[in-house]
Structure 1
Amino acid sequence: MNQVLVQPKAYPTNLLQKDWSKRKLTHRCGQAFVDKVHDMEVRDDDVWIVTLPKCGTTWMQELLWLVMNDFDFEAARSEHLEVRTPYLEFNYEIHNDLDHAFAPVEALKSPRLIKSHMPLPLLPQQLWMKKPKLIYVYRNPKDYIVSRYYQYRSLGYFMSTTLAEFALKCIEEDRAAPSKDFEHVTEFYELRNEPWIYYTSFERMKLNLHQVIEDICKFLNKTISEAQIEQMLQHLSFEQMKKNPKLNHHWEFEQVRAKLKSEYEDNNFMRRGKAGGYKDELSADIIAKLEDMIQRNLDHYDLSLNQLLLLDDKAAL
């Protein structure tokens, strides 16, 4: 997954006052794509979901799409999530066609639900100015690192790499604080009280999905009945999502595999859906090394992981 240094045309100085000259930014799509994103037309009624990969994005996407589309479960089950709510970077990653990079997004009727993994300063400038609704979801890094490993192998990457080796590679890449992942999350965390941003975590969704659904409805000015909440809780349960082919990214995976033409491991996208699942898969030594890396970054920002996850200080991580 090669990354190249990029330079945004402008920074969101109207949102955050910081020394942006120290912000080193990379992206695998390159400078021309970053420039195109910067100039992208944002609609006032857009809804954006921004996350680091494997942080509960799909779970929140489906929740949001249903709230925005009057809880039309039949329509949700009849079309792939990636078609209903496109991943902004995906079309260019597959086709490398800059002129049509945003075709799936532009084809959507308003209000659009758009997903991106890009950091704040690489998102469209109009997003910072118009401030449409934006949802950010974070997750314990120890869990998302494990989850990323299995997703990469499902696409054909890291096939000769063990999970322990992958975790050590992540630790080495993030040796300097702040890491790019922590820059990504802390910028949105700092904006969490802005009225146009809803910030939450995978762990909060696991603890009380009912409350998150209610919060999202309030955030998007939508009403929901208790019966609809029960339907949502059933539809969004891990058991139901795992067996729902429209939510396991088959549409995307088939295109990536066809492009790479390499061996891959056929892991289900919805693999375990646990908070703290890393404890079952990583050795105590690797966990300790990951915790050291995480703590270096947290110390840089004078934050705790529980703060970033919106958890009580007594919560187990």
Structure 2
Amino acid sequence: MATVSSSQKPLDDEEDDGKERTCKRYSEIISTLPKEKGWTTEHMYQYQGFWYHSVVGLQGIMWVEEHFKPRHEDLLLVSAPKSGTTWFKSLMFAIMNRGQYDCSTHPLLTTSPHEVVPFSEIFFHLNIPFPNPDTLSPPQIFHTHLPFTSLSQSVLDSQCRIVYVCRNPKDTFVSLFHFLQKKEEENPREPLSFEEAFEQFCKGVSVYGPFWDHVLGYWKASLEWPERVLFLKYEDMKVDSSFHLKRLAEFMGYAFSLEEEKQGLVKEILKLCSFENQSNLRVNKTGRFRVGHMSMENNPFFRKGEVGDWKNHLTAEMAERLDRITGQKLNGYDLRFMDTLEK
């Protein structure tokens, strides 16, 4: 099947003029928004109740809200940053394309998961047009970090299925902090210290945060529209990978047949997409993935892939504070997180 291209041609002059006008309109809106000190940028901006860490990034979000129009057959992967995005991109791509590629010669052995399933918000500020779903053979997998309340009416009307993946807040915070630290050379100023970033996270001031509001938006949507929104936890996938992979495949419309299960295809896909395998591939150790005229290192997307690494970074007081906030925020919603795995 065709896949979304992340290396499309740049905008022509007429499109570029239109983009300039759009940027100006967005910038005027952004100039009126509440601001806080950013983790790695001078400011973060609050838009529609959530925080975004640059003017350029927020422009891309506004643009996706206005222009992204998926079809009924398409799939939308959504996650808060550093909640298992890379893993689930590879899993969903492998599930959908298992009839086309053999695991021994699979594109994921030589291509970043972020290249085969691009990040929707990035297209606008790279000066390339967003892929028009109508020009691509259905279905396609798209990815976004947008909160549920920021999804456009066109997404809701499309009836496309949404897969949401989340992770316990302690590991999410630690992973996000280290990811942004790895990108420190790209930052215009000194990033926040671990303690400063923790304070911001607890206040809800993190990229696409507050974390708890992001999670609850999709949790409530999954309860109201279970046929359209599948809510998955990173930790559950770690504990019972086969069960949840089959659950994911069925929701996507690509259920495994009994014959495929007997042939070991579920285990093959899990092995192909495992952190151990993906993090040791040359493309993810030293390679870069390209989006338009920009390229990014693959390595920062692979750190540990563990449940419970927060214990190596958070003090007991920090952990207790996050537990307390999480308990307060999720009270009454029957939603709990696993933050360690039983040995």
Q: State the TM bucket, normalised to the shorter chain.
A: 0.7 to 0.9
Change (3 A) 1:6 1:287: closer
Equivalent-residue separation in structure 2 for 1:247 and 1:125 (angstroms): 36
The answer to whether 1:200 aligns with 2:241 is no
Partner of 2:220: 190
User: How has the CA–CA distance of structure 1 residues 25 and 79 changed in structure 2, closer, same or farther, with 3 Å as cutoff?
Assistant: same
Corresponding residue for residue 26 of structure 2? none
Aligned twin of 2:288: 250
1:180-202 residue CA offsets vs partner (Å, 9 max, x unmatched)? 32221112111224202111100
Verify: 1:234 aligned to 2:234, yes or no: no
TM-score norm. by structure 1 comes to 0.76
Deviation at 1:76, TM superposition (A): 2.6
Residues 147 and 126 (structure 1), Cα distance of their counterparts in 2 relative to 1, 3 Å cut: same
Distance 1:84 1:104, change over 3 A: farther
Matched, 1:130 2:158: yes
1:84 is aligned to 2:125: no
- Give yes or no for the alignment of 1:53 onto 2:91: no
Q: Which moved more, 1:72-81 or 1:31-40?
A: 31-40
Which string of whole-angstrom CA distances, capped at 9 and with x for unpartnered residues, describes residues 251-293 of structure 1? 26994779xxxxxxx9642211111110121111222222233
Most deviating of 236-245 and 146-155: 236-245
Matched ranges for 1:1-317 at <5 A: 1=41, 2-6=43-47, 24-27=49-52, 28=54, 29-30=57-58, 33-34=61-62, 36-70=64-98, 72=101, 73=103, 74-93=106-125, 95=126, 97=127, 100-103=128-131, 108-156=136-184, 157=187, 160-173=191-204, 180-193=210-223, 194-224=226-256, 225-226=260-261, 227-246=264-283, 250-251=288-289, 255=294, 268-299=300-331, 302-303=332-333, 307-309=335-337
Query: Alpha carbon RMSD of aligned pairs, Å?
Result: 3.2
Q: Secondary structure at the match of 1:251?
A: strand
CA contact (8 A) 1:88 1:114 kept: yes
1:25: Cα distance to partner?
A: 4.1
Which range moved further: 228-237 or 241-250? Answer: 241-250
Q: Give the letter aligned to residue 171 of structure 1.
A: C
Runs (4+) of structure 1 exceeding 6 A deviation are 104-107, 313-316
Measured against aligned partners, the alpha-carbon deviations of 1:16-51 in whole angstroms (never above 9, x if no partner) come to xxxxxxxx2444434685155234221121111001
Secondary structure at the aligned position of 2:149 is classed as helix
Structure 1 pair 33–213 and aligned structure 2 pair: CA distance change class (3 A): closer
Partners of 2:240 and 2:316 lie apart in 1 by: 29
TM-score (norm 2): 0.71
Amino acid at match of 1:211: F
292 and 63 in structure 1: CA distance in 2 versus 1, 3 angstrom threshold: same
Return the offset for 1:168: 2.4
* Distance (Å, rounded) in 2 between the aligned partners of 1:167 and 1:104: 39
Distance, in Å, in 2 between the alignment partners of 1:87 and 1:141 is 22
Q: 1:79 to 1:185 in 2, by over 3 A?
A: same
Contact 1:149–1:166 (CA under 8 A) maintained in structure 2: yes
Counterpart in the other structure of 1:16: none
Flag structure 1 segments of 5+ consecutive residues without an equivalent.
8-23, 259-265
Residues 60 and 121 of structure 2 are in contact (CA less than 8 Å); yes or no, is this contact kept in structure 1? Answer: no
User: Residue in 2 aligned with 1:13?
Assistant: none
Query: Residue 44 of structure 1 aligns to a residue in which SS?
Result: coil
Cα 1:132–1:173 change in 2 (3 A) is closer
1:75 is matched by which residue type in structure 2?
P
Query: What is the CA–CA distance in structure 1 between the aligned matches of 2:132 and 2:294, rounded to whole Å?
Result: 15
Going from structure 1 to structure 2, the CA distance change for 1:220 and 1:267 (only over 3 Å counts) comes to closer
The superposition leaves residues 65-87 of structure 1 with CA deviations (integer Å, 9 ceiling, x where unpaired) of 01111252322323332221110
Q: Structure 1's 240 and 257: CA in aligned 2 closer, same or farther, altered over 3 A? A: closer
Distance 1:293 1:127, change over 3 A: same
CA contact (8 A) 1:86 1:105 kept: no
The SS at the match of 1:282 is coil
Quote how far apart the aligned CAs of 1:164 are: 3.0
SS at match of 2:301: coil
Matched residues, number? 280
